[in-house]
Every structure is written in C-alpha cells, then in structure tokens.
Chain A
C-alpha cells in the first residue's frame, strides 16, 4: 500500500508502515506527515513521538499514520424485534474520529485496534463497534412497540443510549464518539399491517357512507312521495303498473335506488315501454339530465365492426374468426358506415361503392395538413366531413373527385378543432372549439349554438332525437335538450378527456357510453345515477362503439379490438389482434347496426 493510495481511499483510516517504505533520499530517510493526518512514530531506540501534519521525521522508524477529522459510519441491523414481535430493521449513522491529540491515547488506538501491519479500514471499525451497537439498539427496540419505532425519529433516545455506551467502549481504544448523525427504524411487516388496517378502515368507512347515502336516499324518496306535487306527477302516469313499480322500487327494503340489473329484469317481465316510462317519470322527478325519448333510441344489434388501421379497414363479423379487409388509397384517420363504407384520410374522404370501387372526395386547396378527417356523415345528396385544419366540408355524393366546399368557415377557422360531424333527422351537428352547432341540412341557415360553462374544447359528440351530448377535453360530459341550447346540464365530470361518446339501448334503458383512456368503457344509464363498467382486463381503452348486444373498443395502444357482450361487462368476450394483421394501430372504429328484432 503506497502512501498516495492510502490517502486517496476514503475507506482507509490508518496505515502502518516504516521508514524504508516511505523515506526519500539516498542516505537520509525523511518523511513529511501528509495533510490531514497525524503520525505516531516508533523510533528504533524505543522512543515515541506524535507528529502533526507538515512535520518531518527521519531516521529508522515505524510509523502509524491516522487520518484526522470525523468519519461517518453506517451500520444496519436488520434482525431486531420490537416489544410486539415485529421484525425491525435499524440503521444508524454515527460520526467517530481517531483521537490523535494525545500521544498516550493515540498509542491506545494502535495497541488495541491496529495490532496488525497494513491498513485499518472503516470496516474494521464497524466490526469493532457492531456488537455493542447492536446490544444498545436491541435494548431500545425490544422495549418499544413497532408503532413507536416504525419511521419515527428517535435520534434523541438513540443518542442518549449510544453516547455513554460508546464513550465507555471507545475509552482506552483511541477512538472518540462525536455524534449520532441519524437513525432510522423500519418494520416492513408493521407497515404492511398498517396498510391493511387502513384499507379495512377505509372500506368500513366507505360501507358506512354508502349505507348512510342509501338511508338518505330512501328518506328523500319517501319525502318525495309525501310531496303533493310528486303525488300529482305520479297520478299523471298512464298505467297503475308503472306507479306500482316505482313505489315498489322506492319502498323496497332499505335500498331505494334502482339498479341496472333490476331494471333489465323488470324490462324482461313488463316490457321496455313500462321501464322507459318509469325512467322518464323518474327523470321528471329528478329534473336534470336530458333523456332521449324511448322512441328516439332504438335497440340495435351490431352486424359488423369496421376498424381503420393504416390504409385498411378491417371488417369484423361477430362469430367469424378472420376479419375481411378493405383497402383504401391512403392511411385513414376515421371510418363510418352509412349505406356504404366511408373512410376519412388526411386530405380526402373515400367511399367504397357497392361495386368495390373506391371514390375519392378531396378537400379543397393544397394544404399539407398534419391531421386527418375525424368524422364523416352522409345525409341526403351530401357527404359531410370534419377536419380540424379545414373545418366542416361538404361534397355532393354524386360528384366524386370534385373538391369539397367548406361550410361555416367563419365559425371553424377561429378554432383549432372541428370535430364530430353527425346528422340526426334533417339537422347536421358539428363541434368546433368549445361549442356545438346545429344547422338545417338543406337551407344552411344560421346554426344554433350549444355552449357549456366553463367552456372546454369538445372532443366528441352524440346526437339522438331531442338529446345532444358532448364530451370535452377537461373531462366533462354536457347534455342539452335540442330545443334548449342555452341550458346545458352536466351529465358527468371525469379527470381525463372524453375520447368517444355513443348512445345505445341496453336492457331497454338508453345508456350513454364513454371512454376516458380508463381501464373500462363506461355506460351511464341516462336519467339515473347508475353506471356500468365494461372492464378491459388491464388495458386502457380509447375509441368505442356500442349497440344493444355488443360493445366494442380499441385499447389505447391501438393493437387490439375488444368486444363485450352488453350483458357481460366483467371481461371482453373477444379480443382481436389487429396489429398482428395491419402492423398499424387502430385509429377509429365504427359499428354497422341493424334494428334489433325485439325492438
């Protein structure tokens, strides 16, 4: 071991060597004590000398060089036990120093801790310290329960016990205890127990709250029934069976809420009209969210699922293993089905004619947009598409190849987004920025504005008869009655942006489906504060579509198409790996629906 190596190694505390190894000069061996060290020199005549840094020594001698200043030692004892028998891991960091101030004490250090040649390291000192330190910590820990130890600052207690013990231990050994730097105690088992207890308490609290909520709900509904106005509304119901059902639901046990499953069961027994009537009556009682009428939301079955990935649309038929493929001239951003298959790309809308020919409807101008057509709708003789960088475009379906005409540019150009064109009846709906507009399909008159408060960019839209719903980037779902554009009502508020909105009738009840890149597709029973979660099994979901019998969605990575039976939300019924075939992610999907036979 050279002197330089000793000085450079922070783990080495002392070095024993001799003049032959250190000395310079041909005839006279002279050594200068390095900075920040002290030397105990054993001369050949038996004399001793204590030399501080910078002093010189010559002749024949042995020398022990020790580093001055404090060193911090960290010792960990993982196998201690608290008074309540939890394993506790204790870590202490203590500052110690070699006492080189007095020759007799320095001599003690050499005699007791450094009887061997070579070097003395922090490890040697730790080995010397460990048994006594463990004894002290063991006494401390075994006297306290884990709760008083786990992640607690016990520095004062530890120091109070360590200081006298280490002082006694170090006395006559040439070491000095400076201070306790810090100490920590960790009991993994206790922490697990604590977490489990907290979880149990939280569950109990939640159950208690739920119970309280139900009781409050019951009292509220019973209060409603006593209200003369409510009594009057109930009297307006056309059928005594409906009244009976409502009363039965409200008074049944302690639970006054109507669950989706119960309603599905009742619908099977009494027919959807009855259930719908109940819901509409309840909606009037609650007086909040707009609900499309029973006639406006029809029960539909999914016949095909179209999935856009790259320049191909995959046609998935329920019950058939392999999807059919439809190729388009360029990569598609959106897909729809309206009598025929429609695809939206960066700069055009394509229509797959029944003869298999692909007809292109280009957007006007020579822009090179970054995004693509996000929604397509066909109504009357027209095709409509929304594109955030163009706005709302319209083509005559009979004139493929002709550039589209941009509508309402004064509204769309001032916003960064234009999305979700839809046609309902003879009206066209689209969203631009934070507003939704509705206009006549034919006359192009001033559009009606549907605004929300606070405004947030609309990401998706669904229209059904008199009800209109819009999802926003701030995670809100707003609902309007089409006849009252100035009265938005907040249907739901989520933390994440709403990606897709769809309406479908499940078990006779209109459900508003939405996705928020959550681990499930959520379906909210309109008019009731009830929600069904179609669990993906661990993947976050992105685009979705829903019919009365099936619900489908793509996962956020765009690799898989997940398909649930509407009555089995616990897990997807089918998973189709689109990526395996396309090598591209899913960018949109759409269901071709046909009226359900029971509708």
Chain B
C-alpha cells in the first residue's frame, strides 16, 4: 500500500509559562530517575563501562541561566515580577559526572551524562506563551554549557519546552558527545537520537516514558487521527515520525487498539503496519 498523505501537519500549539515549567521539571525528574536506575555508563572513547553508582557519581545543578530569566523579567515585566519568575521555566540543567580511579592513579572524570532544558524565555515573559521551537543556536548553547573538557565523553539530553526546529536534528553528534533531543509532542514525551553506534545502552538515559506510557500515548494519538485512519494512513512509520517511539512499542500499541475497537483492524500484510477502518 502506498503512503500518500495529502493532509498538512498541524501547527504547533503555543506553550504557556506554567506548562513549560511543568515540562521542564518533569524532564529533569525523569532524567534523574533514569540515571539512578543506570548501573554503568559506556565511554566510547576508551570502550569501557564505568560504574555509575552514587559512590562514583557527582551531581551538579546548572541554574546559572535563571539569572538570564531574571534579567529579562526585569527588562520586560512591569509588575508581578516574582510571580512571573515563579511561573517561568528557568532553563535549568543537571550534570552527573562519573569519576573513576585506577590503581595508583588519581580519580579521573571519564564520562558525563547531562540534561538541560531550554525555552523561548523572552517571548514567554512578554506574551505569556510561545510556539517557537528551539533553534540550532539554542542547542549549541546547551552543548557548550555541558561539554567543556576533552578526553571526557558527554551524553547530553537537550529538552525544549516548545520543540525543536528541523535543522537541530543535524547537530546531534560530536567528537566527544552525543545529543538526545527531547520535547513533548501530542502530550507525550518524545526523544530523537542521532543514529550513532556509540549510544549503545546509553539511549535509555533519555528515554523519558515507560512502555505503558508510550502505549497510552499512542492510543491517545491514534484517537485524534481520525482522518489518517479513514485514509488508511495511520501507519507505524507515521506514529514513529510523530512520537519517536520504537516500532515494536508502536506495534504493541496498535494491537491493543485493534483489540479494543471492532471497527479498527491492524493490517500486517505489508510493512509498514497500519491501522485501518473496517465497516460492518
């Protein structure tokens, strides 16, 4: 079956300050949770796994960019400065440094897993919300903030409360770093990884949703795609493109949807799998 989508993608909806703040806090919380559940992290530079337990781990928070938020609030806001600040996303970051000590040598920083959030601060202060996705320079700022040392490998999770522009997806790989781009699409956490063999198991650090959450997110997404369903275009590729979830998870979600709704059937005769509407 030929994929012949003719409808336009929906424009991104504006994200207000409070929603952005909730997303930002949720991102860091989930990332920190993933780190805590990670026993070891692979360092592509020397091809070794390093113990990431608390004993070898140092956590630093990056809240310097909250000063920029304050400066902009002072510049643009007339009243309720503190209230605005409390509502605003603060562009925070968190860095987990994995240190390792070899016999008769000093402790050395080997690998870093970091996550940082970014938002269109000025527009959110002035208008209360923004639909502008983050640009390559925003991503570069995040990378520069974290990846500062040579000889250390960095896994960087960059989160934008309003999504990312397409060019950003071309900037995810560096000599000593890999970037995972995260955002919220259709109400669900989404992460884009550069296809790179160095990720190995470290992708899980930035996988922000559980499989159950993903299935639920796909179900919610599919419910809203009435037109695509009628046109037989609700394919696994389409869902992957929109939500970024692995194909096996999407297929599992499709099976659940098809089993719950007698008017929907999972077509598996050819790849990509798709959900189709049945009548009678």
Q: A46-B60, A104-B63 are in contact. Are A164 and B74 (CB under 8 A)?
A: no
**A167→B82 contact, CB < 8 A:** yes
Q: Is the CB of A168 within 8 A of B59?
A: no
- A170: chain B residues within 8 A (beta carbon): 82
Is A172 in contact with chain B by the CB < 8 A criterion? yes
Chain A hits for B80, CB < 8 A: 167
Cross-chain contact B60 with A171 (CB below 8 angstroms): no
Judged by a CB distance under 8 angstroms, whether B30 is at the interface is no
Question: Does any Cβ of A come within 8 Å of B90's Cβ?
Answer: yes
Residue B37 interfacial (CB < 8 Å)? no
Query: Are A171 and B61 neighbours in the complex by a CB distance under 8 Å?
Result: no
Determine if B60 and A47 form an interchain contact, defined as CB atoms under 8 angstroms apart: yes
Binary interface encoding of chain A residues 1-25 relative to chain B, with 1 for a CB under 8 A from any of its CBs, else 0: 0000000000000000000000000
Known: A45-B58, A48-B61. A172 touches B79 (CB 8 A): no
CA of A46 to CA of B81 in the docked complex: distance in angstroms?
29
Contact A167 B81 (CB under 8 A): yes
Residues of A within 8 A of B90 (CB): 104
CB neighbours of A107 from chain B (8 A)? 63
Contact with A along B80-100 (1 / 0, CB 8 A): 111001100010000000000
A592 at the interface (CB under 8 A from B): no
With beta carbons under 8 angstroms apart, the residue of A47, A48, A167, A171 that contacts B70 is: A171
Contact status B85-A171, CB under 8 Å: yes
Bound-complex Cα distance A107 to B78 (A):
24
A167 lies within 8 A of B79 (CB): yes
Q: Scan residues 50-78 of chain A and give those whose CB is less than 8 A from a CB of chain B.
A: none
**A563 to B194 alpha-carbon distance, docked (Å):** 118
Q: How far is the CA of A557 from the CA of B86 in the complex (A)?
A: 74
Q: Which of B58, B59, B63, B70 contacts A172 (CB 8 A)?
A: B70
> Given the interface contacts A172-B70, A172-B74, does A164 sit within 8 Å of B79 by beta carbon?
yes
Report yes or no: B82 in contact with A171, Cβ–Cβ below 8 A: yes
Nearest CB on A from B21, distance (A): 12
> Taking the complex as formed, is B66 at the interface, i.e. its CB lies under 8 A from any CB of chain A?
yes
How many residues in A have their beta carbons less than 8 Å from beta carbons of B? 16
Residues of B within 8 A of A167 (CB): 79-82
CA distance A48 to B86 in the complex (A): 20
A107 to B81, CA, bound (A): 17
- The complex places the Cα of A176 from the Cα of B82 at a distance, in Å, of 9
Q: Is B73 an interface residue (CB 8 A)?
A: yes
Q: How far is the CB of A43 from chain B (nearest CB, A)?
A: 11
Report A-chain residues with C-beta under 8 Å of the C-beta of B81: 167-168, 171
Give the chain A neighbours of B74 by CB distance below 8 A. Answer: 168, 171-172
Determine the chain B residues whose CB is within 8 A of the CB of A164 once the complex forms: 78-79
Scan B138-155; emit 1 where CB is below 8 A from any A CB, else 0: 000000000000000000
Most buried by B among A102, A104, A107, A164: A104
**With a CB–CB cut-off of 8 A, which chain B residues contact A171?**
70, 73-74, 81-82, 85
Bound-state Cα–Cα, A47 to B60, Å: 6
Residues in chain A near residue B63, CB distance under 8 A: 103-104, 107
**Nearest Cβ distance between residue A96 and chain B, in whole angstroms?**
13
Q: Name the distance in Å between A187's Cβ and chain B's nearest Cβ.
A: 32
Question: How far apart are the CA atoms of A108 and B78 in the complex, in Å?
Answer: 20
- Complex Cα distance, B73 from A103, in Å, reads 18
Given A47-B61, A168-B74, A171-B74, list of 5 further CB < 8 A pairs?
A108-B70, A164-B79, A170-B82, A171-B73, A172-B74
User: What are 27 residue pairs bridging A and B, where the CB atoms are less than 8 Å apart in the complex?
Assistant: A45-B58, A46-B60, A47-B59, A47-B60, A47-B61, A48-B61, A102-B86, A104-B63, A104-B66, A104-B90, A108-B70, A164-B78, A164-B79, A167-B79, A167-B80, A167-B82, A168-B74, A168-B81, A170-B82, A171-B70, A171-B74, A171-B81, A171-B82, A171-B85, A172-B70, A172-B74, A176-B82
